[in-house]
Amino acid sequence: MVVRMQFPSIDPVAVHLGPLAVRWYALAYITGILLGWFYLRAMNRRMPLPNLTPKALEEVLSYAVLGIVLGGRLGYVLFYKPGYYLEHPLHIPALWEGGMSFHGGLLGVLAAFILFCRRYRVSFLPFMDMMACATPIGLFFGRLANFVNGELFGRVSNVPWAMVFPHGGPLPRHPSQLYEAGLEGLALGVTLFLLQRFTRARTRPGLLAGGFLAGYACARLFAEQFREPDAHLGFLFGFITMGQLLCLPMLVLGAILLARACSGAHGCSAMEAGDLRGA
């Protein structure tokens, strides 16, 4: 017997400000970015990076938002629906229609932070280690927003907590957005927090960034087994989803960074070799 749990009826609009409708999705992005920024400031107060001044930290928000929005949107266009947007190029800026790619956002953020680090002369890998610790906060809230929107739902299932999604047909499905929130957001975030807080991980540039890349890739590869493949793509090569395919280079790069950091290839600066207090 298939158990049917009804998807909770949640208005995607959190609040109306006159003619402006503020959606949960937008609030999730804003909350995740702001909390990540506060966490970044806390880490930098306890173990400052050279040249990462309060003024430079204020600019981080602008670079992050541009990287996430531009990279996320262009990644979705190129990775998931290139044919459609080639025929309808005027729809590319239409963010309100939905369509953001994590992997595109990651590439956008990397490009933005390369420019940021060059402008302010901040060491790139130590800075990305800090960003790696803050990123799961945004992932957690983003996946919760996916759940509220009833999008990116899971495959048909008869587990007791399976539910019928508004746009997923009559059969109950895995709430895979919550699985991803727990794995990519909560579990990965707590793991990186413990590493940077209670170990000397930040004295080895690239360790936390590599841990994030490899950890996210493993979490996504696992969670995608429960998530419904994109309808217009299905399984690539008959067995792998686009999300899983894009995670493979992340896993390889993460493993390389971890291996280099653990082998001490980068060494430690005087600042990095000191007592680590964490955040």
Q: Indicate the Cα dihedral angle 147, 85, 101, 145, nearest 10°.
A: -20
* Residue 184 pLDDT: 96
Q: Are 137 and 39 in contact (CB under 8 A)?
A: yes
Is residue 216 within 8 Å of 196, Cβ to Cβ? no
Those residues with Cβ within 8 angstroms of residue 145's Cβ, 6 or more apart along the chain or in another chain:
24, 25, 27, 28, 29
- pTM for the complete prediction? 0.87
Residue type (1 letter), 18: G
Of 123, 109, 95, 129, give the one whose Cα is nearest residue 33.
Answer: 109
d(CA 279, CA 43): 5
Q: If you ran DSSP here, which 8-state letter would residue 230 be given?
A: P
pLDDT tens-digit readout, 242-279: 999 999 999 999 999 999 999 865 444 433 333 333 44
Condensed to tens digits (0 to 9), the pLDDT of residues 7-62 reads 777 777 888 887 887 888 888 889 999 999 999 999 999 999 999 999 999 999 99
